[in-house]
Amino acid sequence: MAKKNLGDIEDNNKNLGGVSALFNSPSKDIISKGGKQTSEPDDDIVTYPLRLKKSALKALKILGAQRGVTVKELILSVIEKEYNV
């Protein structure tokens, strides 16, 4: 089935908020903070669910806040150091 372009379906209709995001494809270019357009990195990114104890997640959030990084960055840095990835 061909993809339909619904245009600006959300205009003047408060009940259809977010509908265009479902049907219109996202832009392939990402605008960085400097205002320059950059394409996505070449690395493929895959999501992977991770189960943590609430206490461990709380500790990671506190540590991340102290260091100014996200929980994701903390976890990835430990994995990279441990397994030399």
**In this predicted model, what pLDDT tens digit does every residue of 22-51 receive, in sequence order?**
666 555 545 555 555 555 566 788 899 999
Residue % of the chain over a pLDDT of 90: 42
Report if pTM > 0.85. no
Q: Is the pLDDT of residue 68 over 90?
A: yes
- Distance separating alpha carbons of residues 34 and 25, to the nearest angstrom: 24
Lowest model confidence (mean pLDDT) among 3-7, 10-14, 23-27, 48-52: 23-27
Q: How many helices (H) and strands (E) does the chain have?
A: 3, 2
SS3 59: helix
- Distance separating alpha carbons of residues 74 and 85, to the nearest angstrom: 14
CA distances from 82 to 13, 23, 48, 58, 75 (A): 52, 42, 18, 22, 11
The pLDDT, as a whole number, for residue 70 is: 94
Q: Could you tell me the residue ranges of all domains in the chain?
A: 14-83
Average pLDDT, the chain: 76
